[in-house]
Amino acid sequence: MIKEKIERLMQSRFSRDTVWLIAAQVVLMFSGFGVNLIVGKIQGADVLGIFSQALAFYTILSTFFALGLNNTITKKISEGQKSSEEIQQILTSNLLITTLFSGAMSAIVSTIAIQKPELFSSPELAKVVHIPMIALPFFNINKNFGAYFTGLRLQKRFAQQRIVRWSVIISFVTFSVFSSQPIETTLFCFLAAESIVFIINLIQLQGRVSIQFNSGVIRDNLKFGMKTYIAELISVLNASLDVILIGYFLSNSETGIYSFIVYFAKTLYIFPGIMMQNFSPIVSKAWASGKIEELKARMQSIRHINRWVVTLQLIALLIGYPIVVFFIKQEFNNTFHLFGLAVIGAYIFSLIAWSGSMLIMTNKLNENIARTLLIVLLSASCTLGLTFAFGLTGSCIAYTINGAISFLATRQFIRSSLKLSVT
């Protein structure tokens, strides 16, 4: 009986895609855990703090330089109204813009880091932050390929891309750290990963990437992309800006401890992220075709499954965190109370994090900008104020408050804009 149910379930494309996305997120989770554990245990919280801040700059700037074009690809392709030629033009036009803009802006940031190190929170960070910038154009190109796969609901290929990326990163970091290489060498892990993913994407999409570009398509893509750009940028700022902000108030070691704690808390977003990735093209198509009742049914099912999964994961994290800390450097000891503070906020928002792309996929772009801007302004203010007043403890308290802010803002904007409930 159970075998038959599993077989029926796996006949669903949504279910098969979800399995692949879960597999990719498992690799991401264990690779991210491995990076934090290896760097933190072998090289200490100080080096982990520098690595985490460099990664935060990499994440934020990659979104800043992407111009929202990846969202254009997913939205336009997933609607199912484009010919093969139109889809190819959308992809190739975006690849051209992404390559030129990301390449130029990465070079500018690298130059600033070298010429104006005083702009960064520490000389150590300024010394290395330009290294991930070399990989950034490749990352944004690969992000467009990933959006293309998502729009066509080829989630297996999207998942494989993520699996390769994080497998290379953890392998590179492991070899670098255990061979006693400096942090400068370790940060080349991003270039190694994105170069390999880029080559694989080119091989997979032979014949679909051409050098023919349509100026009208480029203008149209930029027009839609820029509408989502601000909201996506603000969203990423909300996810990564805290590590950069606290770096100006805390030491590299304290920043490393914070990033270690928050990494574990953020694993609660893994399953909701899988649901959002798989659900986004479905939302776009259902909304465009007016199948609102079908969309509501899907939402109810996802909401129920997500609640159970993140609750079980929360229990596992509360049990597992002190065990992990026991095996690493002493400077991470006595941080369970800080982790407890942070994970509460992550759990609150994880209950509806799967709905994060709904406003974009339903063309409510202004509403999404307002939502994300409100969240980032309140969150940044909270992080700055509490970190300044209470140090590392204040940063963790702020993380919980920020999770509650994200929950309330997302729920309210979706309810008022779409007349749909996500809770």
Closest by CA to 261, choosing from 339, 330, 341, 349, is: 339
Residues found in the chain: 423
Lowest mean pLDDT, pick from 26-35, 69-78, 406-415: 69-78
Q: In the chain, what is the straight-line distance between the N-terminal and C-terminal CA atoms, in Å? A: 32
Residues 6+ apart with CB under 8 A from 262: 242, 243, 342, 399
- Coil vs helix vs strand at 101: helix
Distance from C-alpha of 304 to C-alpha of 403, rounded to nearest angstrom: 20
**Does the pLDDT at position 366 exceed 70?**
yes
User: Contact at 8 Å (CB) between 171 and 188?
Assistant: no
The mean pLDDT value for 272-299 works out to 79
**Does the pLDDT at position 1 exceed 50?**
no
Burial class (CB in 10 A: 0-12, 13-18, 19+), 103: middle
Burial class (CB in 10 A: 0-12, 13-18, 19+), 6: exposed
**Does the pLDDT at position 8 exceed 60?**
no
Q: Which residue has the higher pLDDT, 308 or 5?
A: 308
Q: Is 210 left (phi over 0), alpha (psi -120 to 50) or beta?
A: beta
| pLDDT reported for residue 105 | 86
Average of per-residue pLDDT values in the chain: 81
User: Contact at 8 Å (CB) between 217 and 93?
Assistant: yes
Burial class (CB in 10 A: 0-12, 13-18, 19+), 229: buried
What are the angstrom distances between the C-alpha of 1 and each of 5, 6, 248?
6, 9, 58
**Does the pLDDT at position 30 exceed 60?**
yes
Chain centroid to CA 239: 8
- Rounded to 5 degrees, what are φ and ψ at 114? -80, -40
**Does the pLDDT at position 6 exceed 60?**
no
Lowest mean pLDDT, pick from 62-71, 186-195, 317-326, 408-417: 62-71
pLDDT tier, 251 (very low <50, low <70, confident <90, very high otherwise) = confident
Cα R_g (the chain), whole angstroms: 21
Count CB-CB contacts under 10 A for residue 285.
18
Closest by CA to 375, choosing from 169, 237, 272, is: 237
Q: Is 421 left (phi over 0), alpha (psi -120 to 50) or beta?
A: beta
**Does the pLDDT at position 56 exceed 80?**
yes
User: Contact at 8 Å (CB) between 34 and 240?
Assistant: no
> Buried (b) or exposed (e) across 372-390, using 16+ Cβ within 10 A?
bbbbbebbbebbbebbeee
What are the angstrom distances between the C-alpha of 208 and each of 86, 98, 204, 267?
11, 17, 9, 35
Distance from C-alpha of 390 to C-alpha of 417, rounded to nearest angstrom: 38
| pLDDT reported for residue 361 | 78
User: Contact at 8 Å (CB) between 69 and 222?
Assistant: yes
DSSP one-letter string for 341-387: HHHHHHHHHHTTGGGTTHHHHTT-HHHHHHHHHHHHHHHHHHHHHHH
Distance from C-alpha of 310 to C-alpha of 299, rounded to nearest angstrom: 16
Closest by CA to 306, choosing from 341, 349, 361, is: 349
What are the structure tokens assigned to 213, written together? 């570009």
**Does the pLDDT at position 43 exceed 50?**
yes
pTM score over 0.85: no
